[in-house]
Structures are given as C-alpha cells and as structure tokens.
A and B are shown apart, each in its own frame.
Chain A
C-alpha cells in the first residue's frame, strides 16, 4: 500500500509524462505546418565537444557522399549539397510525399576556431559525422603549478 501511494505522489513522473504529451502534441502540429510547405532548418544537427575536438552530426538520409560539400571559414561551418535519391521511373502515382529532395545549405557558427586541414568526415546510415580538431590556440592550456 505504501508503495502505491509513493508512486501516485511522485511529482517528477507525472510532470515527465505531461511534458511528453505536450511535446507530442506540438510535434503533430509542427508536422502539419511543415506539410503546408514551410521548411525548417535542414539538415538537423547535433554538435558536441570534448577537450580537443568539436563533433558534428547531420541527418542526411538518402544523400550520396559525392553530393555533399563541406567548407569551414574561420569558425563557420557550411554544409551544402543535394538529395536526389529515390523516385526515378515514370508513371508513378503518389499517395504520400513527405520527403523533401533537392538542394540544401546550412551554415552554423562553431564556438571555437577549428583546424580545417585535419578535419574528418564520414557518412554512415544516413548521418554525416564530422570530427573537427580545435585549433591549438582554442585548446585549454594546462598551467603547471610550481611548488
């Protein structure tokens, strides 16, 4: 009995569930707006960092590696390209067409300067992974403490 009561009175759980419901509602709304022809920023990105590198992930399903152009200018990263997979063939009749194709371009500012010469990029399972080493002056310096 005590167990049940504590579950019922658990505020975090209730809020978490409520938050998910609201997120879902807005997701559905968002999607219906997108279907009206409005486009969000593309591709979607995650950017993380550790001491030495900045890591970028970009969702690019159906894009061929040779159709992606990457450039770094100071601390601005530009991802450009074209998605042209999929629907070849004539006399196709569409029931749904939610996937967008064609050219895309996105610029994003990085928090520190990176070294473009030693950047590394790979495309796996429709996600572009970038590893961008921070330039030497952007790395944290260890300061030795003298005794």
Chain B
C-alpha cells in the first residue's frame, strides 16, 4: 500500500518533444509535437535568451491497460535563442497537438539588396 502511494507521487514522466526548426528570410519557426497537451496546460517562455516549452498531459491512470506505449505526462525542451531573434515579437499557436512558435528576425538580420551605383 505504501509503495503504491509513492509511485503516484513520483516525478512526472518527462519526454523531449520532437521538433522541426527552419528559417526563411524573415523568421525562424519551431514546430513541436505535443500530443495530448491542452493550451491551458502549456507554457512557452523566454528567460535569459532561453526559450522553454513545458506542457503537461492529463492522463487517467486508473485504467486496465491491454497495451501501453504512451506514458508521457510532461513535455519539456529548451532552446538557446540566437541574437538575431526579435524577442518582443515571438508568437506561439497550439493546434492539433502541434505547437508552432514563430520567431521574427531583427531587421538587421533580414537580407536586403545593396544597390550598386555605376
């Protein structure tokens, strides 16, 4: 009995979500798979140049399992931001279990043509 209680109180089973990270000329995008996470249980924050994703999955664990391959209770991952990201313009959207974070680049980092006079 004591053992069961301890098991319940254990730390969340945490997984690193899979991500795609890509850029175009004006922004960097992070896509992260967070199946089972609801918007109210997700936090995305920037602190000291580190962007962190932290999402909880509410799982009802009193069931009779026949097969159990999914046991993530929490998704966590951190990224160091490059100086070219405009940290005031970061946007995040969670849809169908996929988090999309758009990190706009500062103006100085977006390519622009230099006119050659002659």
Contacts and interface: CB of A to CB of B under 8 A. Distances in A.
Range of interface residues on chain A?
A: 35 or more
B109 interface: no
Contacts of A61: 33-35, 96-98
Contacts of A86: 20, 31, 98
Interface in B20-72: 20-25, 28, 31, 33-38, 63-70
B19 interface: yes
Interface in A32-60: 41, 44-50, 54-55, 57, 59-60
Interface stretch (A91-99, A113-121, A134-142): A91-99
Contact of B35 (A16, A59, A64, A97): A59
Range of interface residues on chain B?
A: 20 to 34
Nearest to B59: A46
B7, B22, B36 — which one has the most chain A CB atoms within 10 A of its CB? B22
A130 interface: no
Contacts of B24: 89, 91-93
A127 interface: yes
B33 A126 contact: yes
Given A48-B65, A91-B25, A16 B10 contact: yes
Interface of B: 3, 6-7, 10-11, 15-16, 18-25, 28, 31, 33-38, 63-70, 96-98
16 contacts: A16-B7, A48-B65, A50-B64, A54-B66, A55-B63, A57-B70, A59-B35, A61-B35, A62-B96, A91-B25, A94-B21, A96-B21, A125-B37, A125-B96, A125-B97, A126-B35
